[in-house]
C-alpha cells in the first residue's frame, strides 16, 4: 500500500442492527487501537525495505532489478487479498480473521528477517502481503461498527494518520535499523508489535462463530483469476526484459497463465452470485475515471518512494537512514493536513481539489527530471513537500468519489476495486521501473560512448592523464567506464521521473467526469 496514502475501507455503508452507544466505552477504543496498530504494522512494511534494498540485495545475492521483487511481491499479494477481506471476515468472524492475519504476518516477517536467498525473501514478502492486506481494511470496519457516528471522525483521523505515516516512516525506521543494528531487524521489529496486537485483539474484540457454509458461495473462479492473472502479469513485466520477452518459453507460458487468469476473473462476473471484484462498476463514468486516476497516482507514489532511495544510494552515496529521511519529507504535509481534510471536503469542489493535487504530483515529478551526478538529498526537498500536499488532495477526495459513485450496498465492492487499483499501479510502477531502467541505461551508455571518439585529442589527453594518475591505461579505461555508467544511470532516473510526470498529466482531464460531493458533506464512513 505506498503506499503513502490511506486506503479506502472495504464494505457497505454502516447499517448495524445493534445500536451503537453515543459514547464508546474503553473496550471499543481498545478495539480501535488494535485495528489502528494492525494497519500501522501492515502499511509500515510496504516501504520499510525501500531505503535498505541496496544492503539487502547485496547480502542475499540479488541484482538491482531483481531487488524490485522484494517490494513488488508484497503489493501483488495485497491486491489479491484486499477484495477478499470482507468475505473472509464474514466466513471467519472479525476477531478470528485478525488473529490469524496478525499471527501469520508476524511469522512471515520472521521468515523475511532470516532470509539468505532471494526466493526465501520473496516467499516471506508474499506472505506478509496476503496477511497484511487483511489488516488494513478491517481497521475501518472496527471504527465503523464500534464507534458512534459522533466519535467516528476521531477514529477516522487516527486511521488516516496511521495509514499515511506508516509508508512514510517505514524507510526511516528501516534505514536506521540497517545502519545501527542490521537490516534483519527491519522485519524482527514486527515481533513485539505483533504480540501487542494479538493481546489487544483477544481483550477488545468479541468472538464470532465462523460461518464456513459461506465457502460454498465464494467466487472461486474470480479468486483463482486474480491470483493467476495479476501474479502472472507481474512476473512477465518483471522478468520479460531479462528473458528477452517472447523469445523465452518461460515468458510465453507465464503470459498464457495470466490470460487464463483474467478469463477466469471475467467468468466469475457471470457465474458467481457475488463476484470477488464487481468489474461492472467500472462502467460507471465517475468510478471508472477514479480507478484510472488512482492507478496512476499509485504509480507515482510507490514509484517515487522506490526510485529516490535508489538514486541517493547509488549516485549520491547516501546510506539507508539518510535516504529514508528524504522519503519522510513527503509525510510532513500529509500528517499536518490530515485534521483539516473533513473541512476541505466540505468547502472545496472535488474537481478543483483533485486537479490541484494531480498538478502538484506532476510538478513534483517534473522538478526531479533535472538530476545530475552532483544531485543529493537537498534536490528532493521541495519536490517531496509538494508531493505530500498533492497526495492529500488526490487520495482523500478520490477516496470519497469512489464510495459515492455507487449505491451503498456496493460500497464494499467499490472499495475493494479502488484499493486493488491503487496497489496495482504501484506494482506496475515497480515492474516498469526495472524494465525501463535496463533499456534506458543501455541506450544512454551507447549514446555517451558514441560521442567519445578514440582518436579525439580530448579523449586521448583524458586517458593519458588518468593513466598517469591511476597507474596504467587499463585502470584509466575502467575509470572512464564507471563514469559513463554513472552518467547513464543518472539520466535514466531523470527519464523515470519524466515518465511519471507525463502519466499524471495524461489522466488529469478525467477529473471532468467527477460529480461534486453533496453540499456540506463530510467524509463517508464505510466498512
> 479-525: per-residue pLDDT in tens?
888 888 888 889 999 999 999 999 999 999 999 888 876 655 555 54
Angle at 63 between CA 57 and CA 69, to 5 degrees: 75
**Could you list the pLDDT tens digit for every one of the 527 residues in the chain?**
444 444 444 444 343 444 455 676 777 788 888 888 888 888 788 777 777 777 888 788 776 666 777 877 887 787 778 777 777 877 888 888 888 998 999 999 999 989 888 888 889 999 998 888 888 777 767 776 777 766 666 776 677 677 667 777 777 888 888 888 888 888 898 898 888 888 888 888 888 888 887 777 777 888 888 888 877 887 787 777 677 777 888 888 989 998 998 899 888 888 877 777 777 778 888 888 988 998 998 888 888 888 888 888 888 888 877 887 888 888 888 878 877 777 787 788 888 989 999 999 999 999 988 888 888 888 899 999 999 899 888 887 887 777 777 776 666 667 677 777 887 787 788 778 878 888 888 888 888 888 877 777 887 878 888 787 777 778 878 888 888 888 888 999 999 999 999 999 999 999 988 887 665 555 554 43
| Interior angle at CA 521, CA 520 and CA 522, nearest 5 | 120
Cα angle for residues 108, 113, 116 (degrees, 5° grid): 110
Cell of 429: 510502477
Residues 6 or more apart whose CB falls under 8 angstroms from that of 485 comprise 441, 445
* Cα→Cα distances 260→79, 86, 219, 432, Å: 18, 25, 16, 22
**3-state secondary structure string, 363-432?**
HHHHCCCCCCCCCCHHHHHHHHHHHHHHHHHHHHHHHHHHHHCCCHHHHHHHHHHHHHHHHHHHHHHHHH
Q: C-alpha grid cell for residue 294?
A: 488512482
Residue ranges of domains in the chain, CATH in brackets: 26-218+276-440+494-513 (1.20.1250.20), 441-493 (no CATH)
Distance from CA of residue 63 to its chain's centroid? Answer: 21
pTM for this prediction: 0.76
d(CA 307, CA 493): 7
Residue 521 pLDDT: 52
- C-alpha grid cell for residue 199? 493481546
| The C-alpha cell that represents 473 in the structure block | 591505461
- Where do we find the cell 464505510? 526
Q: Quick one: pLDDT at residue 160?
A: 66
Q: How far apart are CA 186 and CA 232, in angstroms?
A: 29
Euclidean distance between CA atoms 256 and 232, whole angstroms: 8
* Number of Cβ within a 10 Å radius of residue 501: 20
Contacts of 353 (CB under 8 A, 6+ apart): 344, 393, 397
Per-residue cell: 318: 547516501
pLDDT for residue 477: 81
- Cell numbers for 169: 516512516
Angstrom distances, CA of residue 379 to CA of 321, 365, 368, 421: 17, 12, 8, 30
- pLDDT, residue 13, reads 39
pLDDT of 21 reads: 54
Say if CB 118 and CB 60 are below 8 A apart: yes
CA distance 404 to 491: 42
- 262's enclosing H/E stretch is helix 249-271
Grid cell locating 315: 549516485
**pLDDT for residue 506:** 93
From the list 138, 10, 142, the residue with the least C-alpha distance to 412 is: 10
Query: What letter does residue 517 receive in the DSSP assignment?
Result: P
Q: Degrees (nearest 5) of the Cα angle 16, 22, 26?
A: 95
Query: How far is Cα 274 from Cα 239, in angstroms, rounded to an integer?
Result: 34
Amino acid at each position: 500500500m505506498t503506499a503513502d496514502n490511506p486506503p479506502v475501507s472495504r464494505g457497505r455503508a454502516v447499517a448495524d442492527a445493534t445500536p451503537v452507544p453515543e459514547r464508546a466505552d474503553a473496550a471499543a477504543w481498545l478495539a480501535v487501537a488494535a485495528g489502528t496498530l494492525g494497519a500501522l504494522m501492515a502499511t509500515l512494511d510496504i516501504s520499510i525495505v525501500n531505503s535498505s534494498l541496496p544492503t539487502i540485495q547485496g547480502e542475499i545475492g540479488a541484482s538491482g532489478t531483481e531487488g524490485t521483487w522484494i517490494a513488488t511481491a508484497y503489493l501483488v499479494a495485497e491486491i489479491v487479498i484486499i477484495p477478499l477481506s470482507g468475505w473472509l471476515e464474514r466466513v471467519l468472524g472479525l476477531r478470528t480473521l485478525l488473529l490469524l492475519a496478525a499471527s501469520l504476518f508476524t511469522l512471515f516477517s520472521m521468515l523475511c528477517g532470516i532470509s539468505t536467498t532471494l526466493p526465501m525473501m520473496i516467499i516471506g514478502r508474499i506472505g506478509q502481503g496476503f496477511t497484511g492486506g487483511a489488516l488494513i481494511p478491517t481497521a475501518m470496519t472496527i471504527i465503523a461498527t464500534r464507534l458512534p457516528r459522533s466519535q467516528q471522525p476521531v477514529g477516522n483521523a487516527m486511521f488516516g494518520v496511521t495509514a499515511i505515516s506508516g509508508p512514510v516512516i517505514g524507510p526511516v525506521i528501516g534505514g536506521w535499523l540497517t545502519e545501527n543494528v542490521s537490516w534483519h531487524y527491519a522485519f524482527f521489529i514486527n515481533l513485539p508489535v505483533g504480540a501487542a496486537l494479538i493481546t489487544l485483539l483477544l481483550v477488545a474484540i468479541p468472538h464470532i462463530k465462523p460461518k464456513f457454509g459461506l465457502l460454498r458461495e465464494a467466487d472461486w473462479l474470480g479468486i483463482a483469476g486474480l491470483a493467476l492473472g495479476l501474479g502472472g502479469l507481474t512476473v512477465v513485466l518483471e522478468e520479460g526484459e531479462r528473458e528477452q520477452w517472447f523469445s523465452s518459453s518461460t515468458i510465453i507460458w507465464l503470459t498464457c497463465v495470466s490470460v487464463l487468469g483474467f478469463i477466469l476473473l471475467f467468468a466469475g462476473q457471470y457465474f458467481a452470485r457475488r463476484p470477488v471484484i464487481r468489474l461492472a462498476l467500472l462502467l460507471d463514468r465517475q468510478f471508472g475515471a477514479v480507478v484510472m486516476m488512482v492507478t496512476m497516482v499509485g504509480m507515482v507514489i510507490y514509484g517515487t518512494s522506490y526510485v529516490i532511495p535508489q538514486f541517493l544510494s547509488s549516485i549520491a552515496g547516501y546510506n539507508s537512514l539518510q535516504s529514508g529521511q528524504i522519503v519522510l519529507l513527503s509525510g510532513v504535509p500529509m500528517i499536518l493536513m490530515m485534521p483539516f481534510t473533513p473541512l476541505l471536503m466540505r468547502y472545496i469542489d472535488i474537481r478543483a481539489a483533485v486537479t490541484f493535487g494531480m498538478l502538484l504530483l506532476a510538478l513534483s515529478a517534473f522538478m526531479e527530471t533535472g538530476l545530475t551526478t552532483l544531485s543529493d538529498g537537498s534536490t528532493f526537498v521541495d519536490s517531496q513537500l509538494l508531493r505530500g500536499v498533492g497526495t492529500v488532495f488526490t487520495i482523500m477526495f478520490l477516496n470519497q468519489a469512489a464510495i459515492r459513485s455507487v449505491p451503498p450496498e456496493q460500497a464494499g465492492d467499490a472499495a475493494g476495486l479502488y484499493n486493488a487499483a491503487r496497489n496495482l499501479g504501484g506494482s506496475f510502477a515497480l515492474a516498469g521501473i526495472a524494465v525501463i531502467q535496463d533499456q534506458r541505461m543501455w541506450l544512454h551508455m551507447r549514446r555517451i560512448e558514441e560521442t567519445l571518439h578514440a582518436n579525439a585529442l580530448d579523449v586521448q589527453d583524458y586517458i593519458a592523464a588518468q593513466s598517469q594518475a591511476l597507474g596504467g591505461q587499463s585502470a584509466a579505461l575502467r575509470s572512464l567506464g564507471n563514469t559513463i555508467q554513472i552518467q547513464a544511470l543518472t539520466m535514466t532516473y531523470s527519464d523515470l521521473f519524466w515518465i511519471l510526470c507525463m502519466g499524471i498529466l495524461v489522466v488529469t482531464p478525467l477529473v471532468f467526469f467527477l460529480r461534486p460531493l453533496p453540499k456540506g458533506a463530510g467524509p463517508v464512513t464505510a466498512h
